[in-house]
Amino acid sequence: MDKYPDQKRAVQFLYPPIEPFDQRMLDVGQGHRIYLEQSGNPDGVPVIVCHGGPGGGTSPAMRRYFDPSVYRIILFDQRGCGRSRPHASCEDNTTWHLVADMELIRELLEINSWMVFGGSWGATLALVYAQTHPDRVTHLILRGVFLMTQSELAWFYGGGAGKFWPETWEKFTALVPEDEHDDLIAAYHRRLFSGDREEEVRFGRAWSAWENALASVYSNGVSGESPGDYARAFARLENHYFSNGGFLHMDGQILANMGRIAHIPGVIVQGRYDMICPPQSAYDIHKQWPNSDLIMVRNAGHALSEPGISAELVKTMDQLAEELTT
């Protein structure tokens, strides 16, 4: 779950654009090759960025949340999206594959431990990775928390968010027969994996448009049309993960395992008016995580590029940089 409709509003808070000093395609097995890059200081504090979606991919703007003189910034496109190949592939593509991919990256880059930075689905992945490898994470920085629970999916695909955006919700639901409205994730799944590429693109765009329209607090409920290949990959991967409960062992798994990361310092930046990932999840993990700080941003929604969200994330990373270098 993630999209960036307001990047122009946020650039005033970001570091200037930089280019990677390392770019490569990494063979992670099962026929998958993922895009990996490093930028900033090669000898700096390592931080890996988990992008949203699933299926959103990285963007050059993600490098700009970190002081490049301090941080060794590691970005990767998760399986099936962005520059990773095969594009839009859901085979051998689960949360546990992604956790293993992150460990492969860490070992390849000869990093003992690192900061993990993630928002939306990226926060989910960051938390699952940290709970799986708690000795490899020095800090967690999360934004727009999503815990991959059935209640969160029901909020966004069962009509909860639609009560705030009824006209946008109607467009999303109108594409499938009314007798399938009781399970829209399943209804879209049948069409996103129909084998008819034209149909998959059409429903991919509709799936993406529903989410993108609600990402920003500045939204008017209308989003631009995403490129067909991007929308198809994004929607297929999200739907694949959501249809399978994120491949977690049980509903509520992340919250139940917060004790495994109690020792890891964390910062949670959450938009007060996040329609995609409401603040309850951020508040719930904060209560179970005494070593965390929760920053609730007024007048902000979900997107990484919300001005208030961007400002708080840059401020957080600058404060951590000062602590680590003094």
Element counts in the chain: helices (H) and strands (E): 11, 8
Q: What is residue 325's predicted lDDT score, i.e. its pLDDT?
A: 87
* Each residue's pLDDT expressed in tens, for the chain with a length of 326 residues: 654 445 455 678 999 999 999 999 999 999 999 999 999 999 999 999 999 999 999 999 999 999 999 999 999 999 999 999 999 999 999 999 999 999 999 999 999 999 999 999 999 999 999 999 999 999 999 999 999 999 999 999 999 999 999 999 999 999 999 999 999 999 999 999 999 999 999 999 999 999 999 999 999 888 778 899 999 999 999 999 999 999 999 999 999 999 999 999 999 999 999 999 999 999 999 999 999 999 999 999 999 999 999 999 999 999 999 999 88
Tokens 């957080």 locate to: 316
Q: What is residue 226's predicted lDDT score, i.e. its pLDDT?
A: 85
Tokens 């800090």 locate to: 139
* Alpha-carbon gap, residue 31 to 28, rounded angstroms: 8
Percentage helix, strand, coil, to 5, in the chain? 45, 15, 40
* Alpha-carbon gap, residue 172 to 299, rounded angstroms: 26
143-76-237-210 Cα dihedral, nearest 10 degrees? 40
Assigned fold of 7-149+247-325: Rossmann fold (3.40.50)
* Alpha-carbon gap, residue 322 to 51, rounded angstroms: 25
Q: How far apart are the first and last CA of the chain?
A: 36
Q: What is residue 5's predicted lDDT score, i.e. its pLDDT?
A: 45
Kindly state the DSSP code that residue 71 receives in the 8-state scheme. Answer: E
Q: What is residue 8's predicted lDDT score, i.e. its pLDDT?
A: 53
C-beta separation of 98 from 240 below 8 A = no
* Alpha-carbon gap, residue 82 to 80, rounded angstroms: 7
3-state secondary structure at position 93: coil
- Which of 301, 306, 222 is CA-nearest to residue 4? 306
Residue 256, exposed/middle/buried by CB under 10 A (0-12, 13-18, 19+)?
Answer: middle
Q: Which residues are catalytic?
A: 120, 274, 302
Chain centroid to CA 69: 25
Q: What is residue 9's predicted lDDT score, i.e. its pLDDT?
A: 58
Residue 203 gets the label, from left (phi > 0), alpha (psi -120 to 50) or beta, of: alpha
* Alpha-carbon gap, residue 85 to 204, rounded angstroms: 19
Chain centroid to CA 184: 21
The tokens for 9 are 């509003």
Strands (E), 82-182: 114-119, 137-143
* Alpha-carbon gap, residue 323 to 316, rounded angstroms: 11
Q: What is residue 10's predicted lDDT score, i.e. its pLDDT?
A: 61
Q: Is the overall model pTM greater than 0.85, yes or no?
A: yes
* Alpha-carbon gap, residue 129 to 76, rounded angstroms: 15
Domain with CATH 3.40.50.1820 in the chain: 7-149+247-325
